[in-house]
Amino acid sequence: MIIKIDNKRNAIAKEIRNIFQSSYAIEAEMLKAIDFPPLKRTISQFLNSNSEFYAYYLNQNIAGLIEIKNNQDLTHIQSLVVYPKYFRKGIGRKLVQFVLGTYKSIIFTVETGVDNYPAIKLYISLGFEEQNQWDTNHGIRKVKFKK
């Protein structure tokens, strides 16, 4: 089940941060990143975020999250995270499909590290196309996809 969650509630913000820490620690390792900004996000930043968060619940526990920024023309997937014990169970795919089916934007975008092969494979399989690549100021090469 996928439902919108209220990141303005302290307990929810803590849960969001926990899943970010668990999932992004593995992505940072995959990207060989020493300085990885998603791991630096604080509970306060989640509490004050204007993003929309949707949680995928499995057995009454959050198994994955998708964070989006949306306006009438564009929906940007800001973050997609899954608790590592739920990797490879289709949760990320279901969350992205949910966003694609829920929002009626003309354009959908998402970014990830160029070495994050599972994410890239997922986005391409859902019809996203690579737009460009660039190097960040924290040493990670990123790729942007658009649908």
**Given pLDDT bands bounded at 50, 70 and 90, which one contains residue 19?**
very high
**Separation of alpha carbons 60 and 111, rounded Å:** 29
Q: Does 17 or 33 have the greater pLDDT score? A: 17
Percentage of the chain lying above the pLDDT 90 cut: 83
pLDDT at 51 over 90: yes
List, in order of start, the domains of the chain with CATH numbers: 2-146 (3.40.630.30)
82-132 per-position pLDDT tens digit: 999 999 999 999 999 999 999 999 999 999 999 999 999 999 999 999 999
Please choose, from the candidates 59, 55, 40, the residue with its C-alpha nearest in 3D space to the C-alpha of residue 9.
55
The Cα–Cα gap between 61 and 134 comes to 36
Copy the structure tokens of residue 15: 């849960």
DSSP string, 58-99: ETTEEEEEEEEEE-SSEEEEEEEEE-GGGTTSSHHHHHHHHH
In angstroms, the CA 126 to CA 139 distance is 28
pLDDT band at 72 (very low <50, low <70, confident <90, very high): confident
Strands 107-113 and 74-82 turn out to be parallel
- What predicted TM-score, i.e. pTM, was given to this entire model? 0.93
Is the confidence at residue 34, as pLDDT, over 90? no
